[in-house]
Structure 1
Amino acid sequence: MLRRLALTAAACFAALAAAPAATALPVPVPVPFALPGHWLPDPQLRDRLTITVSDSGARAAEGTHRLTCTPAGGTHASPQQACDRLDRLAADKRTPFAPVPAGMMCTMQYGGPATAHITGIWQGKSVDATFRRTNGCEISRWSALEPVLPHTVG
């Protein structure tokens, strides 16, 4: 969509430059807009995530929430604490959205039915990660992201 906008704007400016000054008419430039229920994030925001949580046992955390950082905001229950956690992980050079490596030995414990799906941008990189609490490695991944993800009781 941004590419189409840029190409349209470039074509409009080229047409204006080629037209004689006396006959030049203003040319409308398309502006992106948000339809009701759609979210267009500010391009200046570095971190913007959509977090969908289910079966966590934390009623307030269930559903889909948005988190923006720099500045902290969105519909997340604790945006400042969540952004602070992401900042700490970045300072430690940790990648919290990476999956459990293939072949990793994980304890066989069950942390409950909670699931979460996180999409968006973090540190300028695309995020599409799924979290569960089905074994020790997955529980550890989830816990490392609290309070971005809600605290659960397995």
Structure 2
Amino acid sequence: MRQSPSRLRPATLAIPGIVVAALALGGCKNGDGSATAAPSKGSETPTASAVPGTPAPTASPTAPAPTGSAAGTRLTVTVRASETSAPKTWTLTCDPVGGTLPKADQACAALAAAAAKGQDPFAPTPKGQMCTQIYGGPQTATVTGTWNGKKVDATFNRKNGCEIKRWGNLVALFGPVPSAR
């Protein structure tokens, strides 16, 4: 039996010291009031709106046009396990794949996939975006250079749910989360 939307309530999960409210469909409200639905397991991006009456998510108007290749990609990636730890720095080039980044082929594939979807993986979290207040750790990263011919100067951290997601989208650039010990 289906429940009517008016009877659906957000689920609440209590974690020692933290209470996290999960929205009915796992999505969040954007700064403009529209909903962003979380993709279901095994799904890359939703193809239609998960909430009746809400428009389906679209690519950012500032995202680069898909190019099908990573031509013009030359990046420097610096990752820190914590504010006081020594940085690890790698370089990455795509088409052809090269540089000092371990698993550079996976990183170039992740960047090419973002371009094919019309997404900018280096875009900051939009102002006004609601983010879960879950701390993911003290790790930080900076990425500078060019991606598909577009200038990149981006910073990443793990201070809330939105930033953890941004980090996860480019985990191939950062490698496993470094220990802050």
Partner of 1:125: 150
**Cα distance in 1 for residues equivalent to 2:178 and 2:105:** 23
Percent identity of equivalent pairs: 51
Letter in 2 for 1:68: T
2:91 equivalent in structure 1: 66
Correspondence for 2:165 among 119, 140, 150? 140
Say which structure, 1 or 2, has more relative contact order (CA 8 Å, 6+ apart).
Answer: 1
Instruction: Provide the rounded CA distance (Å) in 1 between the counterparts of 2:77 and 2:116.
Output: 22
Contact 1:51 1:65 in 2 (8 A): yes
How far residue 106 of structure 1 moved from its aligned partner, in angstroms, is: 0.2
Distance 1:79 1:125 in 2: 19
In the alignment, which residue of structure 2 is the partner of 1:93? 118
Is this contact kept in 2: 1:89–1:95, CA < 8 A? Answer: yes
Q: Say whether residues 1:83 and 2:81 are aligned partners.
A: no
What residue in structure 2 maps to residue 9 of structure 1?
none
Residue in structure 2 matching 1:47, options 59, 68, 73: 73
Structure 1 residue runs of 4 or more that deviate by more than 6 Å after TM superposition: none
Which structure's residues are more often strand, by fraction?
2
How many residue pairs get aligned? The number is: 106
Query: How far 1:151 sits from its partner (Å)?
Result: 2.7
Question: Would you say 1:102 and 2:165 are equivalent positions?
Answer: no
The superposition leaves residues 92-149 of structure 1 with CA deviations (integer Å, 9 ceiling, x where unpaired) of 1110001000111000001001100000000111000000000000000000112112
Letter in 1 for 2:165: S
How much has 1:153 moved relative to structure 2? 7.3
Q: Give the unaligned 5+ runs of structure 1.
A: 1-44, 57-61
TM-score (norm 2): 0.56
TM-score, L = length of structure 1: 0.65
CA distance in 1, matches of 2:148, 2:159: 28
Contact persistence 1:53–1:115 (CA under 8 A): yes
